Amino acid sequence: MNLFLSFDGRIPRSKFWIGLLVLVVLNWVLMAIAGAVFGTSMMMSPDAAANPEQAMQQMSAIFIPMMIVLLILLYPSLAVYTKRWHDRGKSGWWSLIMFIPIAGFIWMIVELGILRGTDGDNKYGPDPLA
């Protein structure tokens, strides 16, 4: 649970990917629950493509449940990202790079999911692989 609740320390790539997988599965589960509670489907109906008015109606019905799920998962997601940035020797504020369209997402995946962390201790804590 410390993985999702604390912004302190460092985590290796393996824990990052496991944490990301848990967050994705939790997102799906929470979206299904939110959809059931709000009486909406998280999937667009096939008719919505042909009828823009129906598509807008469905999107507005899905908006509130999606925002609720986003807010629930925001803190644990940022905790995982921050610890991984720390392992790379960078501040957790680097998570803001995800707001740069396309390039920011690619940068985060490369930095957090592919590149190795700094060897040995850094200012954020001991090497998690040591």
pLDDT tens per residue across span 36-86: 887 776 666 666 566 777 777 777 778 888 888 999 999 999 999 999 999
Report the domain count for the chain.
Answer: 1
Written as one string, the DSSP assignment of the chain is -HHHH---S---HHHHHHHHHHHHHHHHHHHHHHHHHHT--SS--GGGGT-HHHHHHHHHHHHHHHHHHHHHHHHHHHHHHHHHHHHTT--GGGGGGGGSTTHHHHHHIIIIIISPPPSS-BTTBS-TT-
Q: Is residue 110, in this structure, part of any structural domain at all?
A: yes
The pLDDT score that the predictor gives to residue 51 is 72
Tokens 């609720």 belong to residue: 68
Q: Rounded to the nearest 10 degrees, what angle do helices 13-38 and 52-87 cross at?
A: 150
Residue 84 domain flag:
yes
Per the domain annotation, does 122 fall within a domain?
no
Structural domain includes residue 124: no
* Whole-number pLDDT of residue 93: 96
Record the tokens describing residue 47, joined without a space: 């008719």
> What is residue 42's predicted lDDT score, i.e. its pLDDT?
64
Q: What pTM does this model have?
A: 0.85
Residue 77's domain spans which residues? 2-114
Residue 125, domain member (yes or no): no
From the centroid of its chain, how far is CA 80?
8
Q: Would residue 99 count as lying in a domain?
A: yes
- Distance CA(96)–CA(115), nearest Å, equals 18
Residue burial 91-114, b: 16+ Cβ < 10 Å; e: rest: ebebbebeeeeeeeeeebeebbee
